[in-house]
Structure 1
Amino acid sequence: MAPRTRRALFSVTVFLATCAVAGTLINQRVDAQSATDESTLRDSLRNFTSVYSLVEQNYADKMTTDKTDKAIYDGAIPGMLHVLDPHSNFYDPKAYAQMREDQHGRYYGVGMTIQPQPDPKAKGGTKIVVLYPFEGTPSFKAGIRPGDTVLSVDDKSTEGMDTAGVAALLKGPRNTHVKVVMAREGAAKPLEFDLVRDEVSRQSVDIAFMIRPGVGYMHVTNFMETTSREVGDALDKFGDINGLVIDLRGNPGGLLNEAVNMSDKFLQKGQIVVSQRGRAFPDQVYRAAHGSDTKYPIVVLVNRNTASAAEIVSGALQDHDRALIVGETTFGKGLVQTVFQISENTGLALTTYHYYTPSGRLIQRNYNHVSLYDYYYVRDPSQLQDKTNREVKLTDSGRTVYGGGGITPDQPIENLKSNRFQNSLLSKYAFFNFSKHYLAVHNSVSKDFNVDDAVMQEFKSFLKSQDIDYTDQDIAGVQDWLKESIKSDLFTSQFGQLEGLKVRAEWDPQIAKAVTYLPEAQTLQDHLKLAQKTNPARN
């Protein structure tokens, strides 16, 4: 049998196996499934194989392996699942491996984030540059800097390659060598690095520091296997604090058990964190297993891209009046996917439950009669504010909260909006490229560096050299943002990603506003104590 035919048969087998898994789940606990329904399912599968056979035999172009894979992996299976809901999904072998890596939060490689940048002289019009090396990794220790251009890996030119291809070359077994050649602005010739691959751990808590005297701040990027441990380590490092800001903006979620374990660090023992209800499996209730006696006020900062496991944490802390939620209404992803391995490292993420907060709020927002694009990217602010048809629940102290559309903040904080000039600078990598230029000329910056008039004049000259148009009014209108962005990228290049993130956090107006709500968060706890004197807190 020809390899292409075997591959095509495997693709069809995966599709049928996916259907079988879905069908098995649908039929679990439904003993009265009729013979008519079973016959209809068999007829549907037979129709699919007949259609596929006709396509393979009669399509105008030859059905290559790539076309077969796309028809099955990108067409038939996702199409079937997306008819059900927006979050059921299929992982082909490459996507499945990436998902598992993301969940573990570690891999073997050299530890740097790379990205394409426009380069008219390069094949394909782009070059691969280092965004930043992860601190403590082989790349960081070797002195690789943000802005370095990857020319070759083990003597294989990266010209014309995408980031996935270059990343695959950089990854490999632990303790193996990889030769990387870089171009650096200001260097007379390319730089050669002999790196030894090691385990690279990606941090879920990418930044945690004392943002004000007595006030801790942490940003949680996602929920993977190490998240609750990282949160615990950050709290231990803070020591005795008078308040805490937890930043969950842009957090897409992740592992349920890590969301539960993180919530456990702030709730009382036995309090409900989240419950999940489905049709084919028993309902489950997750509670704080250990609990915490922390008393300091907490403010949780969220936005429209805070989703899933991050909404579980936000909802639990809000329902138990343990934290004041501020920012924007969250995404509203309350469908639980169970990942079933199909074959050859492929996986089916099938919705099996719905998430509910401790007060009984459904987190998931409505997705009926909404396209996938509109579901993910287009949300009418007026619909989020309209609570007419939203379910009404009460927190432990009796405050009103709303379900069926994400987590509504207790206090809104408007999202930062950028203007045309700011978007132009970002799209042209102005700050990133200026940091390369500045360090090539000045060699280094110190920790007490600030962006003064001289630096701003140098930045303006750089913009002109890059044909980036601006007016004095453009500069004056966003001068604080410009100074923060310049300093952040320079600190990332000179001292590492953490220092660059700290610069951004210390300036961020949304974070500054969140800190001002700590007294209100304390009042929230005081009201809860008063309510508990007359009515025991709900578990």
Structure 2
Amino acid sequence: MPSRARRTLFSLVVFFATCGLIGMMIDQKVGAQSSTDESTLRDNLRSFTSVYDIVAQNYADPITGDKPGKVIYDGAIPGMLRTLDPHSSFYDPKAYAKMREDQHGKYYGVGMTIQPQGVGTAQKIVVVFPFEGTPSYRAGIRPGDVIAAVDGKPTDNLNSEEVANMLKGPKGTHVQVTLVREGASKPLVFDLIRDEIPHNSVDLKFEIRPGVGYIHLTNFQETTGREISDALEGFGEPKGLVLDLRGNPGGLLSEAVAVCDKFLHRGQVIVSQRGRAYPEQIYRATHGESGQEYPVVILVNHGTASAAEIVSGALQDHDRALIVGETTFGKGLVQTVYQISENTGLALTTYHYYTPSGRLIQRNYSGVSLYDYYYNHDTPQDTKDREVKLTDSGRTVYGGGGITPDDQIDTPKSNHFQESLLGHYAFFNFTKHYLANRTVSKDFQVNDEVIGEFKQFLKSQDIAFTDQDIAGVRDWINANIQSEIFTSQFGQQEGLKVRAEWDPMIQKALGFLPQAQTLEQNAEKVVAQKAMARNSATSPE
């Protein structure tokens, strides 16, 4: 067997041995593991190593280069974990490093989002936007700039991940970036000094209406609780808040608890977790909302998952927020990450989590393909077979399949013309063209003259349309053009504000603030009445 294959096989044996050790540790807490189970595990390990040995020696093509790693990291281990549940997973060294970077909420580099555009040999790596305040932003790099080379090395045939890794490096080091910009007569060369780049989980926070705050939270990482605190403090004494959790895949449980702590009363239960290896653990609000009471609307959709569902469920169960939007993803499993070896990790499901009312919101995954589990769950669920629980004020809520919103707001559906514009990056590329030889001010509006230029641009790009197509989605087109132009001219925050102020789901969510106010007031009355009844029942005659 080649030495590379032996090393890979050794890594697998270490992995399985670690899994076995974890299993034995778990079984020691819930009962001794039988000698039969241990014997079966050893026999299965021997069977696997024998199979791998035969494959390595006799497969038609040599198992060399990166093939041993693919066999193990992309085949054997994921295949084993897939039989358990959809969320237990293995991190190879690259994925493990990325996961840790995402959890920290920072990295060292130049601060830009990039993506590929084009097909085949015509594909280029394009700057989507530089993060505000970073080396890229300060240097004047713009959305739409094409990265032609990094430190003199052409980016031809490189993917965006490879280019991103070239841009990253130790703080204080230099990197030379060569860009091609529309309207520029020759390539532009920037000498950038790498710095710490914060990757905030709150990517937008502003007063969307007088006295009403809006926060968009993208995920839950090590900085999320502090970011939410900073955002709320920035609003002073708000009259209302819309917390947008659409598309939020979750993250760290501890940060979901920290976010809930900003809205609930001290001592209220946030979430509990139970697993066979450990005693039940209950998380409560330790500080509380410091007496600040204002209506809260939480906006969710099918992509709202995990830690984002913990926040939604806790605030719904305590009647602290009105949940609007679509039924959430339905992930009620908690993973513990075990570091294995050589910077690899095992994310193993060790707990189920329950909302304060006792709801388990995990969606059924038995007999469901991974694709269907992740992407085909838009069909409304029948509530007749779901567990029924009550909120603090006695409202009915359901478990067993995500957080059901208090009021439904559907995600707008795109038509074929809209999908065509997005697929061709029409707004992004038009912005490069429009701003090539001009600038705009913040009073810029998309008028008929701008739309006329947009139509000419679509024709030049062979993007089919009719005047009826444009008229049918004119407000959407206006918002997308203005957002891209503001992103390029004034930074990502201004572009996101344009989108938020137009977004029909956000506008509908704002309309539910009076209902959220009534919900909270009624809940306070019911809780007070229950407290009085308990006091009366226990007081001496």
Global fold match (TM > 0.5):
yes
Matching residue of 2:351: 353
Alignment of 1:62-81 (within 5 A): 62-81=62-81
User: Residue 128 of structure 2: SS of its match in structure 1?
Assistant: strand
Distance 1:350 1:105, change over 3 A: same
Q: Which runs of 4+ in 1 moved over 3 A?
A: none
Matching residue of 1:131: 128
The answer to whether the 8 Å contact 2:201/2:224 transfers is yes
Cα deviation, residue 437, structure 1:
0.2
Matching residue of 1:113: 113
User: Residue 530 of structure 1: SS of its match in structure 2?
Assistant: helix
Distance across 2 between alignment mates of 1:6 and 1:181: 43
Distance across 2 between alignment mates of 1:412 and 1:431: 30
Structure 2 residue 361 is the aligned partner of structure 1 residue 363: yes
User: Residue 29 of structure 2: SS of its match in structure 1?
Assistant: coil
Distance across 2 between alignment mates of 1:467 and 1:353: 53
171-180 or 65-74, which deviates more: 65-74
Cα deviation, residue 391, structure 1:
0.5
The answer to whether the 8 Å contact 2:8/2:72 transfers is no
Structure 2 residue 424 is the aligned partner of structure 1 residue 409: no
Alignment of 1:46-195 (within 5 A): 46-118=46-118, 123=121, 125-195=122-192
The answer to whether the 8 Å contact 1:17/1:342 transfers is no
Distance across 1 between alignment mates of 2:244 and 2:6: 49
Distance across 1 between alignment mates of 2:152 and 2:462: 35
Cα deviation, residue 28, structure 1:
3.3
Alignment of 1:122-271 (within 5 A): 123=121, 125-271=122-268
Cα deviation, residue 337, structure 1:
0.2
Distance across 2 between alignment mates of 1:356 and 1:64: 47
Distance across 1 between alignment mates of 2:188 and 2:237: 46
The answer to whether the 8 Å contact 2:5/2:63 transfers is no
The answer to whether the 8 Å contact 1:18/1:348 transfers is no
Alpha-carbon deviations, 1:281-312, whole Å to 9, x = none? 11100000100112100000000000000000
The answer to whether the 8 Å contact 1:11/1:69 transfers is no
272-281 or 21-30, which deviates more: 21-30
The answer to whether the 8 Å contact 1:8/1:69 transfers is yes
Aligned with 2:313 (options 307, 312, 315): 315
Matching residue of 1:399: 395
Matching residue of 2:537: none
Cα deviation, residue 533, structure 1:
2.8
AA matched with 1:207:
L
Length-normalised TM-score, structure 2: 0.96
The answer to whether the 8 Å contact 1:11/1:68 transfers is no
Structure 2 residue 483 is the aligned partner of structure 1 residue 488: yes
AA matched with 1:379:
H
The answer to whether the 8 Å contact 2:30/2:276 transfers is no
Distance 1:387 1:344, change over 3 A: same
Alpha-carbon deviations, 1:476-505, whole Å to 9, x = none? 110000000000000000011000000000
User: Residue 182 of structure 1: SS of its match in structure 2?
Assistant: strand
Alpha-carbon deviations, 1:421-465, whole Å to 9, x = none? 000000100000000000013x21110000000000000000000
Alignment of 1:267-306 (within 5 A): 267-292=264-289, 293-306=291-304
Gaps of at least 5 residues in structure 2 are: 535-541
Distance across 2 between alignment mates of 1:485 and 1:18: 50
Cα deviation, residue 525, structure 1:
1.0
Cα deviation, residue 10, structure 1:
3.8
Cα deviation, residue 388, structure 1:
1.1
Distance across 2 between alignment mates of 1:21 and 1:67: 28
Cα deviation, residue 12, structure 1:
2.6
Distance across 2 between alignment mates of 1:503 and 1:118: 27
Matching residue of 1:31: 31
Structure 2 residue 456 is the aligned partner of structure 1 residue 461: yes
The answer to whether the 8 Å contact 1:297/1:323 transfers is yes
User: Residue 230 of structure 1: SS of its match in structure 2?
Assistant: helix
The answer to whether the 8 Å contact 2:180/2:188 transfers is yes
AA matched with 1:435:
T
Length-normalised TM-score, structure 1: 0.97
Distance across 2 between alignment mates of 1:34 and 1:346: 29
AA matched with 1:103:
Q
The answer to whether the 8 Å contact 2:5/2:64 transfers is no
Distance across 1 between alignment mates of 2:373 and 2:37: 31
Distance across 2 between alignment mates of 1:173 and 1:10: 32
Matching residue of 2:511: 516
The answer to whether the 8 Å contact 1:299/1:517 transfers is yes
Cα deviation, residue 37, structure 1:
1.5
Cα deviation, residue 22, structure 1:
4.5
Distance across 1 between alignment mates of 2:500 and 2:50: 58
Alpha-carbon deviations, 1:183-222, whole Å to 9, x = none? 0000000000000000000111000001111110000000
Aligned with 2:444 (options 420, 439, 449): 449
Aligned with 2:385 (options 385, 389, 402): 389
User: Residue 246 of structure 1: SS of its match in structure 2?
Assistant: strand
Distance across 2 between alignment mates of 1:42 and 1:263: 45
Distance across 2 between alignment mates of 1:217 and 1:532: 28
AA matched with 2:66:
D
Distance across 2 between alignment mates of 1:399 and 1:75: 47
User: Residue 512 of structure 1: SS of its match in structure 2?
Assistant: helix
Distance across 2 between alignment mates of 1:345 and 1:303: 34
AA matched with 1:188:
S
Cα deviation, residue 365, structure 1:
1.1
Aligned with 2:432 (options 413, 433, 436): 436
Distance across 1 between alignment mates of 2:9 and 2:49: 10
User: Residue 381 of structure 1: SS of its match in structure 2?
Assistant: coil
1-10 or 127-136, which deviates more: 1-10
Cα deviation, residue 536, structure 1:
3.0
AA matched with 1:450:
Q
AA matched with 2:241:
L
User: Residue 334 of structure 2: SS of its match in structure 1?
Assistant: strand
Alpha-carbon deviations, 1:215-269, whole Å to 9, x = none? 1000000000111111111111111211000000000000111000010000000
User: Residue 491 of structure 1: SS of its match in structure 2?
Assistant: helix
Alpha-carbon deviations, 1:399-434, whole Å to 9, x = none? 000001110000000111100000000010000000
Cα deviation, residue 15, structure 1:
3.4
Distance across 1 between alignment mates of 2:14 and 2:179: 42
Matching residue of 1:471: 466
User: Residue 535 of structure 1: SS of its match in structure 2?
Assistant: helix
AA matched with 1:47:
S
AA matched with 1:111:
G
Distance across 1 between alignment mates of 2:143 and 2:202: 21
Distance across 2 between alignment mates of 1:96 and 1:126: 28
Matching residue of 2:492: 497
Cα deviation, residue 6, structure 1:
4.8
526-535 or 306-315, which deviates more: 526-535
Distance across 1 between alignment mates of 2:451 and 2:418: 15
Matching residue of 1:11: 11
Gaps of at least 5 residues in structure 1 are: none
User: Residue 215 of structure 2: SS of its match in structure 1?
Assistant: strand
